[in-house]
C-alpha cells in the first residue's frame, strides 16, 4: 500500500529554512543596517579616497609619489611606468589600472596640472581630448619632476607623521611636507558619498606672493595678489570681481573661462588654440556640428581638428563675407568655448571635510606648515644635542688621553672596555661607545682642536635652534624664505589670460529672421507643415498618409515658439523658424525624426505658447484632470526637451490649451457626459501634478475625451451640468452626441 504523502508544512517541520524562516537571520531595523554598513563605507570614501587634504593630495596621489621617491626617481633616470605601478601596489591595493590612471593625471604629458609632478615620456593622452587614449604602462616611462623636491624636503626629519600601510608591513607618510600651498596650485576634483570637491588651480607665483602677504598680515586683501584661477589649458578668465570674491570668501562659486582664437585673413579661417579647462575638443566639435545641422550656424563651411605635436588647434573655414568676431560670439553663446569652472573647496582638515575660502585655506596651511617646520627644527635640535653630548664625553677623554689608553690596554675582555671607560671618566654608555670607536690615527693635536671647535659651534647652533622654537616670528621667516625660494625656482607666467573689459564687447543680439504670417498643420501621425498664405491660396487641399488625418492647425508667424507634447510625458520646444516653408501637397516634416525623439515616441499635441499666458488641461484615463499654468514650461536656457511635462500615473486622453476659464464637456466610455466650468479646477505650477478627481467612473469605465462646450454639440446643458467635482455626469443622449469631437489621442 503506497505511503500517504505528508502535507508540505509537516514534511519540513524541522527545517525552518524551507519555510523562509532562516535560523541565522536576525530581525534588525533598516536604520541600524545603514548605520552599521553604509556609514563606514561612506566615511571611507570621504576620508580615504575622494577628498584632498591640506597638502593638496588624495591618498592615491600621495602613495604613488612617495613610492617613486623611495625608488630614487627624484634624481635618477626614468623607469617603466609598469615598474612604478607594481611598486605602488605595496601601498595602494586598489589595482594597477587605478594606480596608472592616477599617474597619468599627475604627468607632464597629460597636462592636467600647472606644475606636473611626474616627468613622463611616451603617450600619456591629453586632458583636452576625450578620445585620445594613453598608452599602456609597459610602453611609457616616468620619473619625478624637479618640483617634487619641495614635496619631500626634510620628510626624513620627522616633519610629518608616518602610518602603517594596509597590511602593516611598511610605513607611509600621512601627509607630504610641501613647502608651498599645493592645495591652491594643483587642480583637484573628487566625488565622495553625499559630497564632492572641486579645486581649481592658481598660479604658483601668485599663490606664493599671497601666502607671504598673509603671513605678514592676516588681514591682507587676497585679490590684490591672487588675481584669478590659472588653468593648464590656457584660455581667458572673464574677470568678475563679485564672483571671484565669492569664491575667495566661501570656497564656492564659479569662474567663466573662454577659448582663445585668431583669425587668419589670407585663408579666411579661424584657429582656436586654447580652450576652457572644463571641456574637450570632441565636445566642441560635436556641438558645432549639431548647430550647423540644425541651421543655427550658417557661416561655417568646414571645421576640423588639426591638433598635432605643436599643440591644440581647431580650424574653422568661414564662408565668404562672414564676420569672425560675430561668429565667435555666437559660438561662445552656444558651445563650451565659453564655459564655467565650478569651485567647491572641500578639504579634509584633521579627518573632517570642510568647505573653506582661500583665506581659511591659507590659515590652515600656514598653521600646518608652522607645525612641520617646528618638528623639523626640534628633530635637528635633538640630533645636535646628541652629537654635543658625545663630543663632551670625548673632551673629557682627551684631557687625559694616556689614562684612556691605559684603561683600554689593561682591560682583559673587549666587552669590558666601555664599562671601564664609563667608570674611569664618569661618562655615560653612549659617550664611552663613541670614544671606544675612535681610531688611533685620530689621536692627534689637529683632531683634538677640530673637535673642540665643533663643540663650540654646536653649542651656538643649539642655542639658535632653541630660539627658533621659542619665537614664532622666526618660524614665519623660515616659511617665507622657503616660499620665496620656490617662487624663484619654479614660478611660471600665467597661462590663462584675464579679460577685464569683456562687458564692453557684449554679445550682439541674434539677427532675427524676417517675420511673416504662416499656417501650421499637425497630423495625427506626427507630420508637421508650415505653409505661407500665398502657397495655401494656390492649393489648400492637405495631403496626408493613408489612415492619417489632421490633428491641429493654427495661424501664427514664421518664427513663433512651438511646444510639441508626446506620449512619453515629454515636451519638445523649438522655433518654427527651424522648419522650412512647404506646400499643402507634401507630407511635411516627421517630428520624431526632426526633433530627435526617443524610439517609439509620438506627438500628441502642439501648443504655441506666445507670452506663456493661460493654462493647459490634461485629462487622464482614471477620471482626473490636471490644470497647469503654461508659465511652468518657460525656461531661461535653450533646452530643447523637458521631461515630466505631465503626470504619467495614468494614460493621457486629451490635452486642451485655454487662455481663460470656460465650460468644457467631458465624456466617459459608458457613455456619460459632464459639463463643468474650468474655474472649479485649481491651477498648479508643478508640471507633473496628478490633478484632481473630475469624473466619477464606474468599474471598468474610463474617461474617453474632453473638449470645449462649443465643440461638444451638447444642446441640453442643464442635463449634463455639474456644480461640483468629482461628478458622475449624465448618460449621453443621441441628439447630444451627433457632433461630438474626437480625442486628440485617437
Confidence of residue 351 (pLDDT cuts 50, 70, 90): confident
Q: What is the DSSP letter of 511?
A: P
What pLDDT score was predicted for residue 209? 96
Note whether residue 243 is domain-resident. no
What pLDDT score was predicted for residue 163? 94
Confidence of residue 637 (pLDDT cuts 50, 70, 90): low
Rounded to an integer, what distance in angstroms lies between the CA atom of residue 660 and that of residue 395?
A: 107
Q: Which three cell numbers stand for residue 593?
A: 525624426
Q: Are residues 601 and 670 in the same domain?
A: yes
199 contacts 219 by C-beta, under 8 angstroms: no
365 contacts 53 by C-beta, under 8 angstroms: no
Note whether residue 242 is domain-resident. no
Q: Are residues 547 and 663 in the same domain?
A: yes
Q: Are residues 371 and 265 in the same domain?
A: no
271 contacts 308 by C-beta, under 8 angstroms: no
Q: Are residues 477 and 529 in the same domain?
A: no
How far is the CA of 356 from the CAs of 50, 187, 198, 255, 345, in angstroms? 17, 15, 12, 17, 6
Residue 506 has pLDDT above 70, yes or no: no
Closest to 44 in 3D by CA, of 217, 166, 146, 179: 166
Note whether residue 192 is domain-resident. no
CATH code where residue 317 lies? 3.30.1360.40
Q: Any idea what the Cα angle at residue 221 is, between residues 220 and 222, rounded to 5°?
A: 105
Rounded to an integer, what distance in angstroms lies between the CA atom of residue 690 and that of residue 24?
A: 44
Q: Which residue has the higher pLDDT, 177 or 15?
A: 177
Strand pairing report for 162-164 and 550-557: unpaired
Catalytic entry in 38, 139, 166, 516: 139
**417-425 vs 401-410: helix crossing angle, rounded to 10:** 140
Note whether residue 99 is domain-resident. yes
Alpha-carbon dihedral sign for residues 533, 535, 539, 545 = negative
C-alpha 675: how far from chain center: 53
Confidence of residue 169 (pLDDT cuts 50, 70, 90): very high
- What is the mean pLDDT of the segment spanning 556-583? 89
Q: Are residues 462 and 326 in the same domain?
A: no
Q: Are residues 160 and 68 in the same domain?
A: yes
What pLDDT score was predicted for residue 563? 92
Question: Domain boundary at 178, 198, 225, which?
Answer: 178
Note whether residue 3 is domain-resident. no
Note whether residue 238 is domain-resident. no
Question: Domain boundary at 178, 213, 229, which?
Answer: 178
Residues 181-221 have pLDDT tens digits of: 999 999 998 888 888 899 999 999 999 999 999 999 999 99
Q: Backbone phi, then psi, for 686, in 5-degree steps?
A: -90, 125
Q: Are residues 676 and 581 in the same domain?
A: yes
Q: Which residue has the higher pLDDT, 347 or 453?
A: 347
Confidence of residue 501 (pLDDT cuts 50, 70, 90): confident
Residue 12 has pLDDT above 70, yes or no: no
148 contacts 167 by C-beta, under 8 angstroms: no
Q: Which residue has the higher pLDDT, 395 or 571?
A: 571
Percent of the chain with pLDDT over 90: 54
Q: Which three cell numbers stand for residue 708?
A: 470645449
Q: Are residues 379 and 463 in the same domain?
A: yes
Percent of the chain with pLDDT over 70: 93
Tell me, yes or no, if 705 is annotated catalytic.
no
Q: Are residues 692 and 575 in the same domain?
A: yes
Q: Which three cell numbers stand for residue 596?
A: 530627435
CATH code where residue 577 lies? 2.120.10.90
584 contacts 539 by C-beta, under 8 angstroms: yes
Q: Are residues 387 and 437 in the same domain?
A: yes
How far is the CA of 444 from the CAs of 352, 439, 456, in angstroms? 60, 11, 19
Domain limits at 277? Answer: 260-336
What pLDDT score was predicted for residue 636? 62
Q: Any idea what the Cα angle at residue 745 is, between residues 740 and 746, rounded to 5°?
A: 60
CATH code where residue 80 lies? 3.90.199.10
CB atoms under 10 Å from CB of 595, counted, come to 21
Residue 22 has pLDDT above 60, yes or no: no
Task: Please name every residue paired with 589 in a beta bridge, in sequence order, or none if there are none.
Answer: 528
Tell me the pLDDT of the chain averaged across its residues: 87
Residues 524-556 have pLDDT tens digits of: 999 999 998 888 888 768 888 888 888 889 999
- What is the mean pLDDT of the segment spanning 43-70? 91
Question: Domain boundary at 336, 355, 375, which?
Answer: 336
Residues 127-141 have pLDDT tens digits of: 999 888 899 999 999
Tally the domains of the chain. 4
Residue 714 has pLDDT above 90, yes or no: no
Q: Which residue has the higher pLDDT, 71 or 543?
A: 71
Note whether residue 656 is domain-resident. yes
Three-class SS state of 272: strand
- What is the mean pLDDT of the segment spanning 480-500? 95
591 contacts 567 by C-beta, under 8 angstroms: no
Residues 216-274 have pLDDT tens digits of: 999 999 999 999 999 999 999 999 999 999 999 999 999 999 999 999 999 999 999 99
CATH code where residue 421 lies? 1.10.268.10
What pLDDT score was predicted for residue 639? 59
Residue 709 has pLDDT above 80, yes or no: yes
Residue 315 has pLDDT above 90, yes or no: yes
What pLDDT score was predicted for residue 512? 52
What pLDDT score was predicted for residue 505? 41
Q: Are residues 479 and 563 in the same domain?
A: no
Residues 587-614 have pLDDT tens digits of: 889 998 888 888 889 999 999 988 888 9
Is residue 351 classed exposed, middle or buried when 0-12, 13-18 and 19+ CB atoms within 10 A define those classes?
exposed
Note whether residue 39 is domain-resident. no
Residues 720-733 have pLDDT tens digits of: 888 888 888 888 88
What pLDDT score was predicted for residue 25? 67
- What is the mean pLDDT of the segment spanning 70-80? 94
- What is the mean pLDDT of the segment spanning 460-478? 93
How far is the CA of 630 from the CAs of 530, 595, 614, 659, in angstroms? 23, 21, 6, 9
Rounded to an integer, what distance in angstroms lies between the CA atom of residue 282 and that of residue 287?
A: 9
Q: Are residues 396 and 264 in the same domain?
A: no
Query: Which range, 63-67, 287-291, 400-404, 552-556, is most confident?
Result: 63-67
Residue 445 has pLDDT above 90, yes or no: no
Amino acid at each position: 500500500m503506497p505511503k500517504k504523502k505528508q502535507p508540505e508544512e509537516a514534511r519540513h517541520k524541522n527545517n525552518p529554512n524551507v519555510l523562509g524562516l532562516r535560523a541565522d537571520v536576525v530581525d534588525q531595523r533598516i536604520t541600524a543596517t545603514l548605520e552599521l554598513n553604509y556609514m563606514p563605507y561612506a566615511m571611507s570614501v570621504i576620508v580615504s579616497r575622494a577628498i584632498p587634504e591640506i597638502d593638496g593630495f588624495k591618498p592615491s596621489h600621495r602613495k604613488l609619489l612617495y613610492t617613486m621617491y623611495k625608488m630614487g626617481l627624484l634624481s635618477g633616470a626614468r623607469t617603466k611606468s609598469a615598474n612604478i605601478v607594481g611598486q605602488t601596489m605595496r601601498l595602494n591595493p586598489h589595482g594597477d589600472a587605478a594606480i596608472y590612471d592616477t599617474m597619468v593625471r599627475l604627468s607632464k604629458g597629460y597636462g592636467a596640472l600647472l606644475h606636473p609632478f611626474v616627468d613622463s615620456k611616451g603617450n600619456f593622452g591629453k586632458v583636452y581630448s576625450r578620445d585620445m587614449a594613453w598608452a599602456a604602462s609597459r610602453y611609457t616611462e616616468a620619473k619625478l619632476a624637479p618640483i617634487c623636491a619641495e614635496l619631500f624636503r626634510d620628510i626624513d626629519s620627522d616633519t610629518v607623521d608616518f602610518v602603517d600601510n594596509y597590511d602593516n608591513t611598511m610605513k607611509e607618510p600621512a601627509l607630504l611636507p610641501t613647502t608651498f600651498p599645493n592645495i591652491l596650485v594643483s587642480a583637484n576634483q573628487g566625488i565622495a558619498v553625499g559630497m564632492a570637491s572641486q579645486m581649481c588651480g592658481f598660479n604658483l607665483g601668485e599663490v606664493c606672493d599671497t601666502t607671504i602677504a598673509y603671513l605678514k598680515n592676516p588681514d591682507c586683501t587676497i585679490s590684490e595678489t591672487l588675481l584669478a584661477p590659472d588653468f593648464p589649458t590656457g584660455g581667458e578668465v572673464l574677470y568678475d570681481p563679485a564672483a571671484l570674491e565669492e569664491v575667495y570668501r566661501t570656497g564656492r562659486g564659479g569662474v567663466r573661462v573662454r577659448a582663445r582664437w585668431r583669425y587668419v585673413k589670407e585663408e579666411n579661417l579661424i584657429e582656436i588654440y586654447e580652450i576652457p579647462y572644463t571641456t574637450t575638443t570632441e565636445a566642441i566639435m560635436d556641438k558645432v556640428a549639431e548647430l550647423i545641422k540644425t541651421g543655427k550656424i550658417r557661416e561655417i563651411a568646414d571645421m576640423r581638428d588639426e591638433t598635432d605635436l605643436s599643440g591644440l588647434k581647431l580650424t574653422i573655414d568661414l564662408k565668404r563675407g562672414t564676420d569672425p568676431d560675430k561668429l565667435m560670439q555666437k559660438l561662445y553663446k552656444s558651445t563650451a568655448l565659453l564655459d564655467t569652472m565650478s569651485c567647491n573647496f572641500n578639504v579634509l582638515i584633521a579627518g573632517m571635510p570642510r568647505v573653506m575660502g582661500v583665506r581659511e585655506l591659507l590659515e590652515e596651511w600656514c598653521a600646518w606648515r608652522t607645525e612641520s617646520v617646528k618638528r623639523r627644527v626640534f628633530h635637528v635640535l635633538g640630533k645636535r644635542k646628541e652629537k654635543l653630548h658625545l663630543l663632551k664625553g670625548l673632551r673629557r677623554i682627551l684631557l687625559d688621553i694616556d689614562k684612556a689608553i691605559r684603561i683600554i690596554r689593561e682591560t682583559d675582555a673587549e666587552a669590558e672596555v666601555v664599562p671601564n671607560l664609563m667608570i674611569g671618566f664618569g661618562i655615560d654608555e653612549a659617550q664611552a661607545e663613541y670614544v671606544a670607536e675612535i681610531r688611533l690615527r685620530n689621536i692627534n693635536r689637529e683632531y683634538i682642536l677640530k673637535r673642540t671647535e665643533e663643540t663650540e659651534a654646536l653649542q651656538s647652533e643649539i642655542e639658535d635652534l632653541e630660539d627658533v622654537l621659542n619665537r614664532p616670528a622666526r618660524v614665519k621667516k623660515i616659511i617665507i624664505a622657503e616660499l620665496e625660494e620656490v617662487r624663484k625656482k619654479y614660478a611660471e607666467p600665467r597661462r590663462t589670460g584675464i579679460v577685464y573689459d569683456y562687458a564692453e564687447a557684449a554679445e550682439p543680439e541674434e539677427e532675427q529672421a524676417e517675420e511673416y504670417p504662416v499656417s501650421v498643420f499637425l497630423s495625427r501621425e506626427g507630420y508637421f507643415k508650415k505653409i505661407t498664405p500665398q502657397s495655401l491660396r494656390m492649393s489648400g487641399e492637405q495631403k496626408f498618409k493613408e489612415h492619417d488625418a489632421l490633428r491641429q492647425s493654427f495661424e501664427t508667424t514664421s518664427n513663433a515658439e512651438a511646444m510639441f507634447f508626446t506620449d512619453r510625458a515629454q515636451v519638445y520646444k523649438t522655433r518654427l523658424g527651424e522648419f522650412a516653408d512647404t506646400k499643402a501637397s507634401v507630407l511635411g516634416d516627421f517630428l520624431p525624426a526632426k526633433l530627435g525623439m526617443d524610439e517609439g515616441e509620438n506627438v500628441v499635441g502642439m501648443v504655441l505658447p506666445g507670452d506663456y499666458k493661460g493654462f493647459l488641461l490634461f485629462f487622464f484615463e482614471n477620471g482626473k484632470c490636471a490644470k497647469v499654468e503654461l508659465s511652468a514650461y518657460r525656461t531661461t536656457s535653450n533646452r530643447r526637451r523637458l521631461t515630466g511635462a505631465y503626470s504619467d500615473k495614468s494614460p493621457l486622453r486629451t490635452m486642451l490649451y485655454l487662455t481663460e476659464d470656460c465650460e468644457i464637456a467631458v465624456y466617459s466610455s459608458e457613455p456619460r457626459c459632464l459639463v463643468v466650468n474650468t474655474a472649479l479646477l485649481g491651477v498648479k505650477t508643478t508640471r507633473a501634478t496628478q490633478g484632481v478627481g473630475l469624473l466619477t467612473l464606474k468599474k471598468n469605465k474610463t474617461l474617453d475625451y474632453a473638449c470645449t462646450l462649443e465643440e461638444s454639440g451638447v444642446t441640453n446643458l442643464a442635463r449634463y451640468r455639474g456644480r461640483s467635482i468629482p461628478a458622475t455626469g449624465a448618460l449621453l443622449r443621441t441628439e447630444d452626441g451627433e457632433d461630438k469631437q474626437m480625442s486628440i489621442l485617437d
